[in-house]
Amino acid sequence: MNILVADDESLIRASLRSMLDELGMPVHVIGEARNGEEAIRFVTERQPDLVFVDIRMPKLNGLEVIAHGKTVSPHTKWIILSGYSEFQYAREAIRLGACNYLLKPISLEEVHDSLTHVQELHDAHIMERSRQIEHAIVSSIQGRSGVSQGDHLLETLHCKASVFYFDDFLCDHEEHERQQRFIETLRSLIHNQSLTNSLYSLAMSLPGGQPAILWAWPALHHHQALELQQKMERTVKHLLQDQLAASRAITTIQLEECSNLQTMVGQIEELQRVSSLRVLFPIGGVYPLSELSTIIERAECLPISTHVDNLRRLFRREDYLGYLKAVDCMEKEWNGALSADQHLWRRIHEYISRSLGITLEPGTCVDQASWFALLKNHGDRMLSQASRHDNSSKDIVQQVIAYVEQQYMHDIGIKQIADMFHVTPNYLSSLFHKKHGSTFLKYVTETRMLKAKELLLKEPHLKVQEVAEAVGYYSPRHFTKLFTEYTGCYPSEFRERNKVHTFL
């Protein structure tokens, strides 16, 4: 935590600094103030995490400093120092939100206990802000409302991010487990870093399952944030080097620094569109998003890279027929204008060999026709294993259906359920569609509509809004729209029609 000490007595300031050093806690005194005006100026410019403030100082007293300071730095915590125990001072301090009221002379134990309490509040605030940032980004990507209007901090945070792609020869289950372990490792690194309002660091999973680390900071703290962010980036680099040393292929795409969360969301959406282009670069490298975007000018690059990435996904899912179709599509795409591009061929050859686990004898030279034949033969292994996994796949789908039947009234999503089964959302979504014949979202909607029809008939006293909430919708307008699409009439109309039928 960054701390300001505000007291007009130099002896008190020096004594408090000495105590803070002696405690050995993760705090840093970033300045001192001799009067109220200096304190206000420092809080405005540096926005410390904690201020020790004397109740009586020249120009502005401690209570006035707190009242003004809270308007310019809402997250700052306050501990009042005073030689007066009058009740009115303590009562006003509590009203203003001070964390503690210490009477001089203060003891080392009092400082320790106060700091421990403030540290807990500070860390909880940082974690909550990080959750808000993650929610804002994910919600925006998924088309829901993201950054809350009026939340100035979230609207103006500067951001930077790195996204990690696992391109090893893994099945979906193994990939998901490795992604989750990697995210937990990133979170441990963040936790070991001193939490500060100067820099919010969060490890998260993007909608496609890719791990990402995002840094966000207020513009006012740019220099300090940049120093902390670069330190964390070096730590992540060492982690990636360890992963590569263990023969794990992780390609990193860096998103550029931007001045607000919405622009960062735009970069993430652009990355989702062009991420397959990474197959045209050496595996395990670190590349800025702009480098991927520049090669999209070659019209043939995105289609062929999309085919290659799709081939990898289908192989991991053991979708034999889909895999063979993808090989055919890629071969047709390649036999056009791309067939003479040897550099591109080598890159794609290298990527497919690594991600599909194809090994050739050293010095083996395979021409393009033989290579595509090899890819088709390589898919035969999936066919031989398909029957072995079929029963377990059906079991998962049945468990998903049972879960929806029990939890339809709550906010449930494919990622949440995928995490329960330790598979990726994409895999579970494809598996559900293949085994059940409809998408997961459509099945959830149908289940809720059937339950809504049942409630409308059995509980005639319930309002439409209450029925909507009972089946998992908190927007009556959205519920009515879905119900109308499903039944062809409004909920109230459905109820009235069936009343008439019952009477007849």
- The DSSP string of 202-234 is EEEE-TTS-EEEEEEE-GGGHHHHHHHHHHHHH
Mean pLDDT, to the nearest integer, of 352-359? 80
Nearest to 414 by CA among 59, 176, 182, 134: 176
CA 313 – CA 175 distance, rounded (Å): 11
Architecture of the domain spanning 389-503: Orthogonal Bundle (1.10)
Question: What DSSP state is assigned to residue 106?
Answer: P
| Global confidence as pTM | 0.65
Give the tens place of pLDDT for each residue, 381-433.
565 555 445 545 557 788 888 888 888 888 888 888 887 766 677 778 888 88
Mean pLDDT, to the nearest integer, of 290-308? 83
Quote the pLDDT of residue 19. Answer: 93
Question: What DSSP state is assigned to residue 47?
Answer: -
Give the tens place of pLDDT for each residue, 178-221.
888 889 999 888 877 767 778 888 888 887 788 999 998 888 77
**Is domain 151-297 annotated with CATH 3.30.70?**
yes
- Distances 461 to 39, 455, 495 between C-alpha atoms, Å: 61, 10, 11
Give the tens place of pLDDT for each residue, 100-140.
888 888 899 999 999 999 988 888 888 888 888 877 777 77
What is the band of 501 on the pLDDT scale with cuts at 50, 70, 90?
very low
**Do 104 and 12 touch, CB atoms closer than 8 A?**
yes
Give the tens place of pLDDT for each residue, 480-490.
999 998 888 99
162: tokens are: 């790195």
User: 151-297 and 389-503: same fold?
Assistant: no
126: tokens are: 């940082």
CA 446 – CA 102 distance, rounded (Å): 61
CA 252 – CA 275 distance, rounded (Å): 11
Question: What DSSP state is assigned to residue 338?
Answer: I
**Do 104 and 174 touch, CB atoms closer than 8 A?**
no
Give the tens place of pLDDT for each residue, 361-374.
555 556 777 888 88
Q: What residues contact 427, with CB distance under 8 A and at least 6 apart?
A: 172, 173, 176, 316, 317, 418
Provide the residue ranges of all domains of the chain, joining segments of one domain with +.
2-106, 151-297, 303-378, 389-503
CA 203 – CA 124 distance, rounded (Å): 16
**Do 165 and 268 touch, CB atoms closer than 8 A?**
no
213: tokens are: 């680390």
CA 209 – CA 429 distance, rounded (Å): 13
CA 201 – CA 214 distance, rounded (Å): 6
Architecture of the domain spanning 2-106: 3-Layer(aba) Sandwich (3.40)
How many alpha carbons lie under 13 Å from residue 323 in its C-beta half-sphere?
Answer: 23
Q: What percent of the chain has pLDDT over 90?
A: 22
- Does position 72 have pLDDT exceeding 80, yes or no? yes
- Does position 35 have pLDDT exceeding 90, yes or no? yes
Quote the pLDDT of residue 196. Answer: 76
What is the band of 502 on the pLDDT scale with cuts at 50, 70, 90?
very low
CA 470 – CA 464 distance, rounded (Å): 10
| pLDDT averaged over every residue in the chain | 82
On the question of a cis peptide bond just before residue 282, with omega within 30 degrees of 0, the verdict is no
What is the band of 350 on the pLDDT scale with cuts at 50, 70, 90?
confident
**Do 218 and 261 touch, CB atoms closer than 8 A?**
no
H-assigned helices in 296-439: 301-317, 320-333, 342-356, 368-378, 380-407, 414-421, 425-436
What is the band of 68 on the pLDDT scale with cuts at 50, 70, 90?
very high
